Structure 1
Amino acid sequence: MKSPLIVALDYADPSAALDLAALLDPSQCRVKVGKELFTAAGPRIVEQLQDKGFAVFLDLKFHDIPQTVAKACQAAARLGVWMLNVHASGGKAMLEAAREAVDAASGHRPLLIAVTVLTSLDAPALLQIGVADPVPVQVQKLADLSASAGLDGLVCSAREATQLKAAHPDLCLVTPGIRPPEHAADDQKRTMTPAAALAAGADYLVIGRPITAAADPAQALAAMLAACAVL
């Protein structure tokens, strides 16, 4: 698949998520199932989307003691998801346990990526939780930790993609906070346009409301692909 786009199905109602997915072409995008949709619909929604031909990024951001995270990653691997994620701030032991769990998956092995600093956070927000380092420094520390634990990639802001790709060229970079120039930033603090994100080194772009809230989601997806110059 050439498309770098991952459409975020951030819905509480599984019917709404499936209706939106029915408007999209799985050869043009992957889809993301996050906490809201998974909590509302459970593993069945992943199976339904896969039955429609979509590769699924399970975005549950596991963050717990190593054994608990490892068991969760095993369960996700059994679902056949394309990719799943954990929080890098869970520490190296947790990251290694997660990686060992997906390595041991029978048959399909999902990609395992780590969240560095959420794109909703900026320097003042980090300071509120006791992190005094600037955002790029904290991102780099967590990226280095994830690489040392053998993960496949990182979730990061596209604003950090250049520095991370230079430091860890073998890691895939998944970047939320992608917005076309005319679209509002919503609750994201560190945003970038699709073309700029790819130029910065991002491998996959997570896009939600600019597609899911559009009057014509299929047309919005096509416009995003055209902006990425992948068609």
Structure 2
Amino acid sequence: MKNSLIIALDFANRQQVEDFLKPFTNEQLFLKVGMELYYQEGPQIVERLKAEGHQVFLDLKLHDIPNTVKSAMKGLARLGCDLVNVHAAGGIEMMRAAVEGLEEGKVQGKERAKLIAVTQLTSTSRQQMNSEQLIPVSLNESVLHYSQITKQAGLDGVVCSPFEAKQIAKKVGADFLTVTPGIRMETDDKQDQKRVATPDFARAEGVSAIVVGRSITRASNSLAAYYQIKNLWEGISV
């Protein structure tokens, strides 16, 4: 899980995924299945990717009452995902229920999926958080607080931006996972993301794993873009 490069499969259907993966026939990848793809294709898309030997981050960001989240996680655990998530805003009780569901539903003899919590979305600005969520602190303070209660609930880490990773490690512990979306190349369009960073910046900040979508999936040569980002992430000079 540490030092992972996760590719966000932001596609509408399985055919688009298969077309994207064709150049990667010799690669064992870490792939993120989000709401758009999962809600169209269902559990079968996860099962197919796992059968092909890939690791899977199922990014559904569960946020509901504790019993509902526990039951949902119990079912998702059977898919054999490597990483799943919830919203930290659901609270400690809900997050603990998510852990319980994963433990109860895991396949016998296998480790449970790592469980992380979303702190503040990387598309959220401080102004939005202050005015729309009525959280009257800085983004940094909010992310650190959510990280602390996530750790208290027994989860493995958080989703955050690279800008908070060092402080989270200092406050919560170096073994606590920091998974960061919003990773772009310097020349890429930020689009709907606010707190974005390059792969080498994320590495310098001690991030555990990066999630990269359009910089790879929308590139004219996705395989070349993948290796370029992978080299930057791993600090390899070419």
Q: Same fold (TM over 0.5)?
A: yes
Q: Is the 8 A contact 1:210 1:220 kept in 2?
A: yes
Structure-1 residue corresponding to 2:47: 47
Post-superposition shift, 1:21? 2.2
Residues 18 and 49, structure 1, Cα contact 8 Å, conserved in 2: no
Is the alpha carbon distance of 1:28 and 1:201 closer, same or farther for their aligned partners in structure 2, counting shifts above 3 Å? farther
Aligned match of 2:79: 79
How far apart are 1:146 and its partner, in Å?
0.2
Residue in 2 aligned with 1:106?
A: 107
Equivalent in the alignment of 1:205: 210
Instruction: Please state how far the C-alpha of 1:24 moved relative to its aligned partner.
Output: 2.5
Partners of 1:25 and 1:145 lie apart in 2 by 41
Aligned equivalent of 2:139, options 123, 135, 140: 135
1:183 to 185, 188, 200: 188
Q: Does 1:154 align with 2:155?
A: no
| Residues 3-58 of structure 1 deviation map (CA, whole Å, 9 limit, x = unaligned) | 62100001112210122123225745300000000001000111111122110000
Q: Percent identity?
A: 40
SS at match of 1:117: coil
Task: Please state whether the residue corresponding to 1:79 is helix, strand or coil.
Answer: coil
Q: Is the 8 A contact 1:3 1:29 kept in 2?
A: no
- Secondary structure at the aligned position of 2:24 is classed as coil
| Residue 232 of structure 2 is aligned to residue 227 of structure 1 | yes
- 2:203–2:234 CA contact under 8 A, matched in 1: no
Helix, strand or coil at the partner of 2:155: coil
The SS at the match of 1:113 is strand
The amino acid of 1:102's aligned partner reads L
What residue number does 2:123 align with? 120
Taking only aligned residues, the RMSD between alpha carbons, in angstroms, comes to: 1.6
Give the Cα separation in 1 of the matches to 2:107 and 2:150.
23
Q: Name the aligned partner's letter for residue 45 of structure 1.
A: I
| CA deviation map 1:49-97 (0-9, x unaligned) | 1122110000000000001101111111100001100000000100110
For 1:175, give the aligned amino acid: T
Structure 2 unaligned segments of length 5 or more: list them: none
Q: Which runs of 4+ in 1 moved over 2 A?
A: 21-29, 103-108
Matched residue pairs, number? Answer: 231
